[in-house]
Amino acid sequence: MRKHFRQTHSFTVLMLAMFVAQLSGCASTSASPSTTEFNAPANDVSNANEHSPQHQQHTPPAVVEQYSDVWEKIQHANTIDVHDDAEVRKQRNFFDDKQKFMNQVGERAEPFLYYIVSQLEARNMPLELALLPIVESGYNPLAQANGPAGLWQMIPATGRNFGLTVNSAYDGRKDALASTDAVLDYLQHLYDTLDKDWINAVAAYNTGELVIKAAINKNKAKGKPTDFWSLGIPAKRVQTVPKWLAFIQIIRAPNHYNLKVRPIANRPFLDRVPAPNGVDIGQIANAAGLSKAEFKTYNPGFRQGVIPSKGKYQIALPLENIGQYQENHDKLYAQKRYDSQSYIVKSGDSLGTIAAKFDTSVKALKQANNLTSDRLKIGQELTLLTPMAANDNEPEPAKANTKSDSKAKSSTKTNANGTKTTSSKSADMPTAKAKTYKVKSGDSLDKIARKNKVKLADLMKWNQLNSKSIIKPGQELKISE
C-alpha cells in the first residue's frame, strides 16, 4: 500500500511539474507589457523573469488599479471611436510638437484630473471626456470668456440650471470640482437625449442641444443613421468636437506627435471640507499650511478676499494639508470675520465717496476687489466688507436638518373609538411627484428636480426645456408625465 502511494505520488509530482511549466510559459506571455507609444513608468513593467515558476504559481496577478498615471488610464480607455476625418487631422497637426502647451496643461490639470476621471469612472462615462477641458480652457479653472467660465467654460444659465451657485461672491463654474459634477450631469443628459451618442453630446455641449436635436430629427425623417458622423454638421458649427477628438488621438500616442505628457499620479489629490463663513482666505490658507496663491489655485470659485458670510460653501485642500487645517480650524473664528455685500457703481461715484458712504477706506475697497487703479465704471459691481458683530465670531453649532426633521415629524391623534393613531405631517404636504410645481425665487432646475425627487433630464423633457432655458418665479413646471 505504501509502495503504491509512492508511485502515485511520483506520477502526480511529474504531472504537476509539466502543468507548472505550461503555466510559466503562459504567465511570461501575459506579463509582457503591451506595445504602446505611452512611456509607462519603469515600476509598472512586469518582473516575471525574476521569479521562479513555483512563485508565479502562488502569486497570480492581482486585480488592482494597474495604472500609476491618470493620463495612461485615459489612454487605454478606448471608448470613443475617432474617425479619420480631415478636420480632426487638421487639429491634430496644429498641436503637433506644441510641447509648451502640453506642459501648461499638465501643470494645471494636476490637482483636478484624478477627481474628474474618478467621477467619470463612477458614472460609467467615457474617460476621454476628461480631455474636454484641454480644448475648452487649456485646463485653466480661471479662464473667462464673455459668458462662459471655468475649466469647462459653462455659461451662467447652464451652471445655475445644473445646481451651481453663481453670484458676486462665488462663481461655481470656476470651482473645478463643483463644476465637474454639474458638467457631467449635463453631458449625461445630452447623451440620453441625443440618441445615446457621446460625440453628439459633446457637439451639443459646444453648439447647443437644439441644433443637434434638429439634425437628428432630420436624419430620422429620411431614415438615415443618427450618429454624429452621419449628421453632416459643418465643422465650424462644432469646433470643439474635432479638437477633442484630436486630443484623444494625441493622448493615446503622444510620442507619435512629438509630445510628452507630464505624468499625474493616479491617486486622490484634493478633498473638500466646509468653508468658514466670513473668514479671510489668507487666514484659511495659513491655517492649512498653504500660500494664498496655492489656496486660490485649488479654490478659484471665490471671487472675493473672504468666504461669503451667508450660505454654505466648501473649500478644496490637498489631502496632505487637511490634518493641519483641522487642527487650526477653531482658531479661525478668533480672527476678525467679515460680512460682505455688493454695491453697483453709479454715476458720480468714486472710490473715495463709496468708502466714506460705507465707513471704510479706499485701500480696503481696492484690496477687497483686487483693484489696481482708482478708475471705476458705471454698473461695475464692487464688494463691500464690514466686520461682523463680536457675537458672530464664534463657530455656529451643528444644526439638525430642520427641513427633513419637519417632514419626518408625526403627530398622535385619538379616533372616535378611543384608539390612538400616528399620522405623519408629510402626508399633509404636497407629494414629491405632484403634477406641477410653481417656481420660487432662487430656484434652479437642479434644485427643483432634487426637491421633487425626479430626474433633471425628465424635468427638462416634460417641460420642453434645454440647458439655456430661463425659469422665472411664478412659472409652473410639470414634475410628472
Rounded Cα distance, 336 and 338, in Å: 7
Q: Verify whether residue 136 is a known catalytic residue.
A: yes
For residue 170, give the 3-state DSSP assignment: strand
Rounded Cα distance, 227 and 362, in Å: 58
Residues near 394 by beta carbon (within 8 Å), at least 6 away in sequence: 333
Please check whether residue 127 is in contact with residue 79, taking contact to mean a CB–CB distance below 8 angstroms.
yes
- Exactly one of 72, 128, 136, 209 is catalytic; which is it? 136
Please check whether residue 24 is in contact with residue 239, taking contact to mean a CB–CB distance below 8 angstroms.
no
Rounded Cα distance, 233 and 464, in Å: 23
Residues near 334 by beta carbon (within 8 Å), at least 6 away in sequence: 393
3-state helix, strand, coil in the chain (%, to 5): 50, 10, 40
**Phi-psi sector, 425: left (phi>0), alpha (psi -120 to 50), beta:** alpha
Distance of CA 472 to the CA centre of its chain: 27
- Which long-range CB contacts under 8 A does 343-352 form with residues at least 24 apart? 343/381, 343/382, 343/383, 343/384, 344/379, 344/380, 344/381, 344/382, 345/376, 345/377, 345/378, 345/379, 345/380, 345/381, 345/382, 346/378, 347/378, 349/376, 349/378, 350/374, 350/376, 351/376
Rounded Cα distance, 137 and 180, in Å: 13
Cell numbers of 456, please?
433633471
Cell numbers of 281, please?
482666505
Cβ atoms within 10 Å of 384's Cβ, excluding its own = 21
Residue located via cell numbers 463680536: 390
Listed in sequence order, the DSSP H helices in 299-350 are: 319-328
- How far is CA 130 from each of CA 1, 238, 401, 429, rounded to the nearest angstrom? 68, 18, 35, 42
Burial 441-450 (b: 16+ CB within 10 A, else e): eebbbbbbbe
Residues near 479 by beta carbon (within 8 Å), at least 6 away in sequence: 433, 434, 435, 436, 437, 448, 452, 454, 459, 462
Question: Residues with catalytic annotation?
Answer: 136
